[in-house]
Structure 1
Amino acid sequence: MDILYTVEEKYLQAVEELNYGELPKALHYFNEIINTEPDYARAHYQLGCFYHYQFKNFQTAGYHYQKCVELEPEFPDVYEHYLKLVVTLKMHKLVEQIAEKALAVPGANKAQIYENLGLYAEEQQNLRTAKEQYKKAALSAVSSTDHSLYQDHIKRITAKKIAGQTMTYTYDQEQ
């Protein structure tokens, strides 16, 4: 086993293990980093992703995402996942706060942020706001695949609006 001297080297090794599907090794490295350098924001981000997606431990994931944002607020990758988490947990106040911060950070995936806001509004049955957010996502999309996805969201919202309209029938007595 190689001896890793710096935190950055351990971090890169952990990311490499993660890319090769060696989740236990990667988790071990990220925890080691946090134990030696508790203020290493990117390790908190990676641990947040582990607890969010692998372990479904949302409280611990939220702690690590929040810690990452506190330590390195300009790190763009954390916001998409942190926003997904608070949307899942229906943490209304945090949704707005995190989205606002995310949209101000250079490099943050604005299309994903708008999509998450659209999904959140859709869950709240606020179809008008959801459609607006999906339109913003489509305008921010940089790939045709993503753009098509956001257009599908808009079509779904339009169909929901039509389905929710009340029907008025008239009875014509002339025959």
Structure 2
Amino acid sequence: MDHLTRLEEMLASANMDIKNNNYEKAENTLEEIIKIDPNFGKAYNHLGYLYEVKFKEYDKGETLYKMCLEKSPMYPAIYYNYAVLLSTLGKWDELKELLDKALNIPGVTKATIYNEYGIMYEQQGKLDLAIENYRNAGLNTLDQATLDRAKSSIARCKSKKDLF
């Protein structure tokens, strides 16, 4: 088995552990991957996800996401995960920069990125920009659930505009 295949298998094992709530085992596997190959960026993404979502250690999660971006800038998953963290932390300038970059990464789902722009602008009270981006999310999907979410997000923003 070649080096990369072994690392991908270890990553898949860590993912399964995360799904099965075996966070400590997943963390150990991911740290082992990084010891074997410090340039295997996907491991930093998954470890960042653990720290952000499961351990609520946002600073460590952010550091790990940045490492993933540095090591594997073409890995689509990092853009979704890091975007959610930046949104949670209200780091709007960094989030906009990340989303702008994400739109040019092959394999990134544009509808998801536009939805993240929409959330960002809605949280800032920029409702017209939010609506525009939710509309783009809807126009860039073939998935009915994503389209329905875009429509309900637009309706929510329009309701908020009525409050002004």
Mapped partners of 1:7, 1:148: distance in 2: 38
Q: Which structure has the greater CA radius of gyration?
A: 1
Q: Could you say which residue in structure 2 is the equivalent of 1:168? A: none
Q: Could you say which residue in structure 1 is the equivalent of 2:89? A: 89
Counting only pairs closer than 5 Å after superposition, residues 9-158 of structure 1 correspond to structure 2 as 9-158=9-158
RMSD of aligned alpha carbons: 1.6
Cα offset for 1:105?
Answer: 0.5
Greater fraction helix: 2
Task: Please list every run of 5 or more consecutive structure 2 residues that lacks an aligned counterpart in the other structure.
Answer: none
Any idea what the Cα deviations from partners look like across 1:73-102, whole Å, max 9, x if unmatched? Answer: 111111011111111112122112100111
Q: Percent identity between the aligned chains?
A: 29
Contact 1:80/1:109 (<8 A) preserved:
no
Contact 2:92/2:120 (<8 A) preserved:
no
Cα offset for 1:33?
Answer: 1.3
Cα offset for 1:150?
Answer: 0.8
Contact 1:69/1:78 (<8 A) preserved:
yes
Where in structure 1 do 4 or more consecutive aligned residues deviate above 3 Å? none
Task: Please list every run of 5 or more consecutive structure 1 residues that lacks an aligned counterpart in the other structure.
Answer: 165-175
- 3-state secondary structure, aligned to 1:96: helix
